[in-house]
Amino acid sequence: MRRNDAVTSCRRSRLHLLSRIVVAALAVLACWGTNAHAAQCGSGPGGFEAWKQEFAGEARAKGIGAAAIAGLMQTNYASATISADRGQRSFSLSLEQFLAKRGAPAIVARGRGLKQSQAALFASIQQRYGVPPGPLIAIWGMESGFGSQRGNQNMLSSIATLAYDCRRPEFFTDQLYAALHLIDRGVLSAGTRGSMHGEVGQTQFMPKNILAYGTGNLDVAANALGSTANFLKAHGWRAGAGYQPGEPNFAAIEAWNAASVYQRAIALMGRQIDGGE
């Protein structure tokens, strides 16, 4: 073999070796990436404390502040939330059964009165967002009994428990990060009370929706109703269009709640409150 050929062969061998080293390094990095997965979910309280420690480390790495992390570490496994999450049987009822169970006639009757007594508020909301009073009042009545039933669960414990639980961890992990951001901003506190799934305020907003659409303190009816209209508009609500099933604005109601029977109930009650039958 000539000297030049030998040199070329040697260089090729070195390049081949370097290539193999690079591939091996990339494989190790990929392995690290795989192992740096989200905190391991669980199906009972046994692993919750360890999960919190792991999740807190991930949250710090993503810039969550000390106050929110401290609040997270004080959360407890919310057994009542898990029971409620497993027992949402009303969404499997027929529309007639669902309306009866939720007290639709009373919601409509009171809703008509509120539409009149707070006409200026609803007019200003409709002017800004294009959403008429009926569906907003129906949501208000359905979600919290017009503010009388906003829940008394620790919001952060409920959401942390559902983020840890293996049933829907991705959805509630996003909600948990949103809640922690809201605590960092002072919008919520670690002691905020809400419903079983972490919903808060007069129309029961989840943390991600508070971040995206919330306007002011949602325990105040005017703010909650305006925020709800803001949500509906952001999900395609068109001023003056219908909101019954098959009509343009029904999709915005579908975005508010995934249960078909709930969606149809809101549309029906909204129409009745707005003066239709």
Q: Which helix (H) or strand (E) holds 33?
A: helix 3-35
Q: Does residue 267 contact residue 232 with C-beta atoms inside 8 Å?
A: no
Q: Does residue 114 contact residue 146 with C-beta atoms inside 8 Å?
A: yes
Q: Which helix (H) or strand (E) holds 193?
A: strand 193-194
Burial (Cβ within 10 Å: 0-12, 13-18, ≥19) of residue 224? buried
Q: Does residue 188 contact residue 200 with C-beta atoms inside 8 Å?
A: yes
- Could you give phi then psi for residue 93, rounded to 5 degrees? -75, 165
**54, 96, 143, 199: which one is catalytic?**
143
**Which value, in Å, is the radius of gyration of the alpha carbons in the chain?**
26
Asked if 54 is an active-site residue, the reply is: no
Residues designated catalytic: 143
